[in-house]
A and B are shown apart, each in its own frame.
Chain A
Amino acid sequence: MVDITLRVNGATRTASPEVRKTLADFLRDDLNLTGTHVGCEHGVCGACTVIVDGRAVRSCLMLAIQAAGRDVTTIEGLAPDGGMGPLQQAMWDSHSFQCGFCTPGFVMQATAFLADHPDAGEQQIREALSGNICRCTGYQSIVDGVLLAAERDRER
């Protein structure tokens, strides 16, 4: 056990997770933030993606204690009171998802990517999301959601 303090979705949290517990399991089990999903536990599928200090990371490949002192954003933290931010809204409008299990990972990865590349085109978006696996959609609707969000952002 190691005592840690970190910020999660804007709130300061303190906890004493087991040393071997991954950040993904910590978020889900200890903080009850079950929006972050676990799809493979070996860093390939991207379902566990969260944002740490502004960068998308695979939370299954971080120990919880490594997040000490860091600023973590999960899908629950993207918009206030369970509402939807512009990316989520664009994905809703684009019918981006089906079963929803991969969704939080895609939303967080796309959020981080668009923050740094607001003018990205389709090919760039596809490459940026190529580390997130979806089994249901064939990806086109997801890419369309990201493109729509970027377009709307430019119009603002």
Chain B
Amino acid sequence: MTAIAAERYTGASIKRSEDPRILTGRGRYVDDIKLPGMLHAAFVRSPLAHARVLSVDASAARALPGVVAVLTGADLDAMTDPALDPLLAMFGGAGPMPEFTLLATDKVRLVGDPVAIVVAESRYLAEDGCELVEVEYEDLPPVMSAAFALDPSSPPLFANLGDNIARPRSRNEFGDVAGTFARADRVMDFHIDVHRHQNVPMEGRACIASYDADLGLMTVYAATQSVHLTRNGVSTRLGMDPDKVRVLAGDIGGSFGLKIGASREEQAVAAASRHVGRPVKWVEDRGENLTVSGQAREESFDIRAAISNDGDLLGLDVQMVIDTGAYPGMGTMVPSIVEGMLPGPYKLAALGFESTAAITNKATYVAYRGPWASETFIRERILDLIAKDLGLDPVEIRLRNVAPRTDPPALMITGRPLVGVTTKESLDRVTELVDYPAFRRRQAQAREQGRYLGIGVATFIEAAPGPRQGPDAGLGMEAMRLRLEEDGIVALFTGQMPHGQSHQTTLAQIAADEFGVPFEQVRVVVGDSAVVPFGLTGGSRSATMTGGVALHGARQLKAKVLDFAAHLMEASAQDLLITDGNVWVRGDPASAIAVTEIAARAASGEFGADVDAELEVQATYDGGEGGWSGGTHCAIVEVDVETGLVKVERYVAAEDCGALINPAVVEGQIRGGIAQGIGAVLLERSAYAEDGNFQSATFMDYLMPTTCDVPRIEIEHLETVPLDADVNFRGVGEGGMIVAPPTIVNAIEDALSPFGVRIYEQHLPPARILELIAAAGE
């Protein structure tokens, strides 16, 4: 007798099931979809940052052959309901709600603000039509900085608010702030700015809305991180029952937080489709994507640090101002997350945190991969600055301040338990991998030759999904429907909406292992709001939440299938196994029946009510013990002090993201995030002129990192502390982007330390590097 071996997919870099279509041009992105009678939309957009709209004359546009409809802000207002941004609706906004119409009616509030939608036979004609819409504006003074926005003299963008404050100043204290500062050996002050930059997925926002007047049904083909949130956004705006709106999503060309809910443009497209009674497609072009889709990270911090002479970071008192742009959205929630995460994996004993959010004539602040990332940036930046001031090594100061791993775990002063955090291990490992002492020797030699090399480290933790707060506190609830289909396929219906995360592969790996079928016999079904449970791909939660529900759900489905198979095989369910796609009686391989046959029998209808042949389960998972992801990154850079150009020579990451489902997928996520971090520091900036004009509206001005800007990135996976019997997968989606910017900036400052340079900002293009060197010399 030979035992039938089970295959182990989890933990292996299984080739992606997405790739055969992706690599051959057979992916289906929104713009690839054509519907009969489909029209195309383009938007008339404001050339001014802040202006009253005096009149909109669409008559010439409507008369253009090929233009089917032009709907102004007023037209759309009359045919839609007011609606909140879906993320705000879900989590609750933190501040007064500004009142504004779907498209601009009385006012425009940023360059590119949509004023009307033109629907035509082709996008070419729609753009021609846009040029014929005449809009009269009365220019208003633009509010182009948070500082001015907070000044009561700045002209309010929203009449109902009366000022430009999206979130009034509020302060929280954790621990004994006053006492900690009073007792500290020294107090240091810093002001640090993070610049505006943005998601820039390679596919912009896009949707097709198709209204069937006969059935009263709206179908939306969307590029989205959640079909249900898009459905909610469209149905609310259109005053439709959500059950009458179906959102379908196929392949999505990246998002990084941008494509959540339904944007104003997408809502307008849906309204337009209902109005004209034909499908309407809108595909944002790169100019639109850069100018209006959303931007992020523009935050400034006044930081006071209480320090001991030996380098203990005892307390922080921080004031944060976030520039949420016009039409404030989730940006108002970011300060709370920054506050909660700021202590990081360190022993910080006291934190005072004050924040306010300003409204300006810029693109809306949207979620961008690790929206709270500035907390890691400022913390890791000031650790280096403090280290320099005290003559300590940057690694040394971190080791000194890291909270030791204890049982019960230490609590962050803001409340979260630092359970299973391997920060110290990651610091040790990274310095080993780069041979830190050897680098310092090489650096010294290079300086003698007039070459400036630098090394930087930064450490982080990411709530992916984060620890359980207490025995009764869950991490949310993830649902999944699992079904053994008639043809023997194990189908997983999930609300996850992958846009690069490879869920169709990773979730299948887990389910295949747990259920006992080959990888090819599992199908992950996504992207249909009528068919999948509620879900959102975001927040680096899917590895735990969805991986967990796939694992437990597959077990539950297997139990159900075995109960059914027991009838067929006249055996007890406890004696049955499923391996390699076959059900068999333990110890009797000859008894094996293919899962496909079991499935066919269940679907045959031959069984009565006493046999449960409905081979489907609705599983839920609350995240189990959850846990942190985190690690330490290290970069070696060379700065050309004549040109200011920076080369990242080497980049090493020591990471702990729990158990890996698919190492290649994990590493791809990490490297992609790091590339965005390198881009943020060296290349990317969403720049506005003082008059409100947007200056980075093409890829010639918004510079993306290329193959020559991102080095090979070495990744070492640390042995994790398992917290759960089964589910120790943790998320990794955002970490790279969170920790790479301080890693790079720390390295640049280290390279320039012979000049006495100190860096209090994140964007360091060549000209700025030369300015910093010159300023330090004065």
List A residues at the B interface (Cβ < 8 Å). 18, 20-21, 28, 32-42, 44-45, 47, 74-76, 78-79, 82-84, 88, 91-93, 95, 97-104, 107, 125-127, 129-143
B669 partner residues in chain A, CB cutoff 8 A: 98
- In addition to A101-B202, A130-B707, 18 A-B residue pairs with Cβ atoms within 8 Å of each other are A34-B32, A40-B698, A42-B700, A47-B202, A78-B24, A82-B24, A84-B20, A92-B20, A95-B16, A100-B18, A136-B202, A136-B254, A136-B500, A137-B672, A137-B675, A138-B674, A139-B671, A139-B706
At the interface, yes or no: B15 with Cβ under 8 Å from chain A? yes
In the complex, the answer to whether B710 meets A140 with C-beta atoms within 8 Å is: yes
If A38-B31, A135-B676 touch, whether A99 touches B16 (CB-CB below 8 Å) is: no
Residue of A nearest to B669 (CB): A98
Q: Are A97 and B22 in contact (CB under 8 A)?
A: yes
**Minimum CB–CB distance for A136 against chain B, Å:** 5
Q: For residue A126, which residues in chain B have a CB less than 8 angstroms away from its CB?
A: 707-708
B346-366 to A contact mask, C-beta < 8 Å, 1/0 = 000000000000000000000
For residue B512, CB closer than 8 A to chain A, the reply is no
Say which size band chain B's interface belongs to: 35 or more
Interface residues of B in 701-759 (CB under 8 A from A): 704, 706-708, 710, 712-713
Q: How far apart are B121's CB and chain A's nearest CB, in angstroms?
A: 11
CB-based nearest A residue for B18: A100
- Asked whether any CB of chain A lies closer than 8 Å to the CB of B242, the reply is no
Q: Determine whether the beta carbon of A137 is less than 8 Å from that of B671.
A: yes
A–B Cβ pairs within 8 angstroms, 11 of them: A35-B26, A39-B202, A76-B26, A79-B24, A84-B24, A99-B253, A100-B27, A101-B203, A133-B699, A138-B671, A138-B713
What total of A-B pairs shows CB separation below 8 Å?
171
The answer to the question of B665 belonging to the interface, with a C-beta cut-off of 8 Å to chain A, is: yes
**Cα of A28 to Cα of B667 in the assembled complex, Å:** 33
Asked whether any CB of chain A lies closer than 8 Å to the CB of B501, the reply is yes
A47 CA to B15 CA, complexed, in Å: 23
Contacts of B672 in A (CB 8 A): 98, 135-138
Contacts of A99 in B (CB 8 A): 201-203, 251-254, 499-500
Neighbour of A130 across the interface among B254, B667, B706, CB < 8 A: B706
- In the docked arrangement, what's the CA distance between A138 and B29, Å? 22
Residues of the A chain whose Cβ atoms lie less than 8 Å from the Cβ of B251: 99-100
Task: Please indicate the chain B residues that have their CB under 8 angstroms from the CB of A41 in the complex.
Answer: 285-286
Q: In the complex, what distance in Å separates the CA atom of A47 from the CA atom of B28? A: 15
CA distance A61 to B92 in the complex (A): 46
The 4 closest A-B pairs by CB, nearest first: A35-B25, A101-B253, A138-B671, A100-B22
CB pair A97 B201 closer than 8 Å = no
**Cross-chain contact B26 with A20 (CB below 8 angstroms):** no
For A139, the chain B residues whose CB sits under 8 A away are 671, 675, 706-707, 710
Given A98-B668, A138-B710, A92–B203 Cβ distance below 8 Å?
Answer: no
Interface string of B112-124 (1 = CB under 8 A from A): 0000000000001
**Provided the pairs A127-B708, A131-B706 are in contact, do residues A104 and B713 lie with their beta carbons within 8 angstroms?**
no
Cβ–Cβ contact B202 & A18, under 8 A: no
Contact between chains at B23 and A98 (CB < 8 Å): no
Asked if B200 CB lies within 8 Å of chain A CBs, one says yes
* Prevailing SS type, chain B contact patch: loop
CA distance A6 to B148 in the complex (A): 58
Answer yes or no: B180 CB below 8 A from chain A CBs: no
- Residues in A with CB closer than 8 Å to B713 are 138, 140
Chain B: minimal CB distance from A11 (Å): 16
Instruction: Please give, as numbers and ranges, the residues of chain A lying within 8 Å of B26 by CB-CB distance.
Output: 35, 76, 82
Take A42-B699, A103-B23 as given contacts and tell me if A133 and B706 are in contact as well, using a CB distance cutoff of 8 Å.
Answer: yes
Q: Is the CB of B124 within 8 A of A21?
A: yes
**B9 interface hit (Cβ, 8 Å):** no
**Which B residues touch A82, using CB under 8 A?**
24, 26
Please tell me which one of the listed residues B13, B34, B675, B699 contacts residue A95 in the complex, with CB atoms under 8 A apart. Answer: B13
Chain A residue numbers with a CB within 8 Å of B15 are 92-93, 95
What is the chain A residue whose CB lies nearest that of B204? A39
B487 in the interface (beta carbon within 8 A): no
Question: Which residues from chain B contact A42 at a C-beta distance below 8 Å?
Answer: 286, 698-700
User: In the assembly, what is the distance between CA of A100 and CA of B32, in Å?
Assistant: 13
A125 CB to nearest B CB, Å: 8
Interface hits, B299-340 → A, CB 8 Å: none
Taking each of A39, A42, A78, which has the highest tally of chain B beta carbons within 10 Å of its own beta carbon?
A39
List B contacts of A32 (CB < 8 A). Answer: 34
With the chains together, A40 CA to B696 CA distance in Å? 13
What is the bound-complex CA distance between A33 and B202, given in angstroms? 19
Contacts of B202 in A (CB 8 A): 37, 39, 45, 47, 99, 101-102, 133-136
Kindly name the residue among A84, A102, A103 whose own CB sees the greatest number of chain B CB atoms within 10 A: A103
* Closest residue of B by beta carbon distance from A107: B23
Least CB separation from B740: chain A residue: A138
Q: Are B698 and A83 in contact (CB under 8 A)?
A: no
Point out the residues of chain B lying under 8 angstroms from A35, CB to CB.
Answer: 24-27
B668 and A133 contacting across the interface, CB-CB below 8 Å: no
CA distance A135 to B28 in the complex (A): 18
Interface presence of B177 (CB below 8 A): no
Q: Does B691 contact A (CB under 8 A)?
A: no
